[in-house]
Every structure is written in structure tokens, then in C-alpha cells.
Amino acid sequence: MQTYLIETFWSEEDEAYLCLAPDLPGCSAAGNTPLEAIQEMQDAIASWLQACASMERELPKPLTKPRKAA
């Protein structure tokens, strides 16, 4: 099973925590807490990968690495 990087951040505009998976275009989720956003993101990633498989497309390789803290 592949492991994809999840980026989590606070969005003032959305007033929510957002998650993105840089290696999965268009895959994102939101939540009121970082944990809630990550849990939603896990479901979003599963759905994204299932859709990819159902279209018989090759799953993307996880290429994005975590950024080093400043």
C-alpha cells in the first residue's frame, strides 16, 4: 500500500483546517480541528484511489516529501 503525504493547515478564508495530498490532484478535505481534517482526508484519499482504480488508471507514486521545519 502506498503512503501519500498529507499537508494540513489553517485557512482563515474557510475558517477551517484544510488538508491536501500534493501527489493526488484535486484531493482535499476540511475539518474544524486538525484531527477531523486528517480523518476526512483519509476518506478522501481512499475514494480518490478507488476512483482511479475503477477507471483502470495506474495509481500515482508518492513523490512529495515532507518539508523541513524552519
Per-residue confidence in pLDDT tens, the chain, 70 aa? 689 999 999 999 999 999 999 999 999 999 999 999 999 999 999 999 999 999 999 999 999 887 776 6
**What's this model's pTM, rounded to 2 decimal places?**
0.86
Q: How many CB atoms lie within 10 A of CB 18?
A: 19
CB 45 within 8 A of CB 59: no
Cβ pair 41, 4 in contact under 8 A: no
